[in-house]
Structure 1
Amino acid sequence: MTIRKITGAAIILATLAMTPAFADISETRNFYQFEPTVLTSGQPSAAQLSEAADDGIEIVINLVPEFEGIFNPEEEEILAAQGVEYIHVPVNWRDPKAEEFQNFMNAMDRVGDRKVLVHCWANARASALIAAHRAIHAPNTQVAEIEQLEAIWSNVAGYDFARNTVWQEYLADNIAGAAQ
Structure 2
Amino acid sequence: MAAPNVVSISPLLVTSGQPSPQALAGLAKDGFHAVIYLAPSTVPNAVKDEPELLAKQGIEFIHIPVPFGSPDESHFLAVSAALTRLQSKKVLVHCEVNMRASSMVFLHRVLHGNEDPAVAYEAVAKVWSPGGVWRRLLLALLSSHKVSFEPY
Q: Say which is worse superposed, 119-128 or 169-178, in terms of deviation.
A: 169-178
2:126 alignment partner, one of 152, 161, 180: 152
1:49 to 11, 15, 24: 24
Partner of 1:166: 133
Q: Which of the residues 11, 17, 20 maps onto 1:36?
A: 11
Structure 2 CA distance for partners of 1:95 and 1:138, relative to 1, 3 Å: same
The answer to which structure, 1 or 2, has the higher relative contact order (CA under 8 A, 6+ apart) is: 2
Residue 28 of structure 1 aligns with an amino acid whose one-letter code is: A
8 A contact 1:101–1:174 mirrored in 2: no
Q: Structure 1 stretches of 5 or more lacking a match? A: 1-24, 154-158
Q: CA deviation at 1:150?
A: 4.8
C-alpha deviation, 1:99, in angstroms: 1.3
Is the helix fraction higher in 1 or 2?
Answer: 1
Change (3 A) 1:85 1:138: closer
The CA distance in 2 between the partners of 1:71 and 1:145, in whole Å, is 27
Q: Deviations over 1:29-57 (max 9, x none)?
A: 11110111110111011111000100000
Residue aligning to 2:38: 63
Letter of the 2:120 counterpart: E
- Aligned CA RMSD, in angstroms, stands at 1.9
Distance 1:58 1:73 in 2: 20
Q: Which amino acid aligns with 1:151?
A: A
2:68 is aligned, of 69, 93, 111, to: 93
CA contact (8 A) 1:59 1:85 kept: yes
Please say if residues 127 and 152 of structure 1, whose CA atoms lie closer than 8 Å, have aligned partners that are also in contact.
Answer: no
Report the TM-score, using the length of structure 1 for normalisation: 0.74
- 4+ residue runs of structure 1 moved beyond 4 angstroms? none
1:58 and 1:115 in contact (8 A); partners too: yes
CA distances 1:80-103 after superposition (whole Å, capped 9, x unpaired): 000001100111111112211111
**Residue 174 of structure 1: how far off its partner (Å):** 2.4
Q: Deviations over 1:5-49 (max 9, x none)?
A: xxxxxxxxxxxxxxxxxxxx2x32111101111101110111110
